[in-house]
Chains A and B, each alone.
Chain A
Amino acid sequence: MVATTDTQTPTKTRRNPFRFIVVPLQVIGRGAGNVVGILYQSGRDTIDQVIRNVLPFMAFISFVIGVILATGVGNYIAQGLKPLAETLPGLLGLTLICALPFLSPLLGPGAVIAQIIGTLIGVEIGQHQVSPQYALPALFAINPQVGCDFIPVGLALGEAEPQTTEIGVPAVLMSRLITGPIATIIAYFASFGMYS
């Protein structure tokens, strides 16, 4: 069956006097249709993602920034944040708190805490309260807990055995206590010469 259809199709095309036009048109039409379809679907996915994940968070962050800038709460936050964000020991203290194995899974979800503290430090940098050089180490100091809430799910996505998850969760949490401060120290030294 397959063999006969294979031999029949070329003879049919050969008999067709317009095959020089028809075949390229087919190829171009199908190809263009595919590519446009892919691009359109990509656009649709993008808009979905922006509406569902990006804009809601922007609305929420805008409100937080509005409260900080318009009420003067920012001055109190600056007093609390400045010693933490402007010295290496302060940054390391912040890192260690966020990396504590029983706190890190609580601080993790959606990176909400990291995003809020990041925004607060950003506002303080913008108001000359914290010098811009500390932006880089701060990015690591506020984030040693990244993904600590998500370890079982992340491992399941990687098709890990239940036993791997049992060992993996404490392994990652403990690893963060070591690598969190290391990351902040590396970032601190890597920030030399930036914005100065």
Chain B
Amino acid sequence: MDIVNSITHGAAEFATNFIGVFQTGGKTFVGLVTGIVPLLIVLLTAVNALVRLIGPERIDRVAQASTRNIFLRYIVLPFLAVFFLTNPMAYTMGRFLPEKQKPAFYDSAVSFVHPILGLFPHANPGEIFVYAGIAAGITTLGLPLGDLAVRYLVVGLVVIFIRGLVTEAITRAMWPAEAKAEVAVAGAGTTAGEE
């Protein structure tokens, strides 16, 4: 009897633990859906409507004007692109730039799709947990999120600026070498073959 008892007891405990995993998961899910989704839906709708009302032509015109110097190109343009066009359409703004600057702009823009999430989650809702995952811990402690969200955005802007500069420099350094290789290919196939 004792053995039977302990077996049923063990099985029951296992069942409780087993289902407990999913109960905890379910509670987390409800917390996420009621905590993040309503705000996200309303914000997404508002921004989608704003973008449609402004119209793509006008956004394009501002973008085109924002290609002139490095500050506009690697801070303002990525911000506008990610805010208005969101991930992944933001990278289409690269078409306003000369070829040599396109990799740097891509690097800059793609590095901003997460730092923007703290304040404007509409820009990349599919990857919100890069930020929201860590932010959830702060919320659990009962601390306010504003400080983290603002600092994430500001540091993000500094970082995309540095990324733009570094990648532009690397691209420039690699460019002539590639161009020469191209000439070599056109001139003599054997030299290119050796490389």
Contact = CB atoms under 8 A, between A and B. Distances in A.
Interface string B69-104: 000000000000000000011011111010110111
Interface string B170-186: 11001100100010000
The main secondary structure of chain B at its interface with chain A is: helix
A149 to B, nearest CB: 10
B88 A50 contact: no
Contacts of B93: 158
Interface stretch (A9-17, A21-29, A135-143): A135-143
B103 A168 contact: yes
Contacts, number: 272
A179 B163 contact: yes
Interface in A30-80: 35, 38-39, 41-43, 45-47, 49-50, 53-55, 57-59, 61-63, 65-67, 69-71
A150 B155 contact: no
B105 interface: yes
Contacts of A70: 17, 20-21, 23-25
Interface string B25-50: 11011001100110011001110110
Given A39-B49, A61-B32, A164-B99, A66 B166 contact: no
A124 B178 CA distance: 47
Contact of B106 (A126, A154, A176): A154
B106 A168 contact: yes
B142 to A, nearest CB: 10
Interface stretch (B7-15, B133-141, B187-195): B133-141
Q: Which 10 A-B pairs rank lowest in CB-CB distance, beginning with the nearest?
A: A158-B94, A66-B25, A125-B137, A147-B110, A126-B140, A168-B103, A118-B133, A119-B133, A53-B126, A42-B48
21 contacts: A38-B53, A45-B44, A50-B44, A58-B29, A66-B25, A67-B25, A122-B137, A126-B139, A132-B138, A136-B155, A139-B115, A140-B159, A146-B111, A154-B109, A158-B97, A163-B178, A164-B99, A167-B175, A172-B103, A174-B170, A179-B162
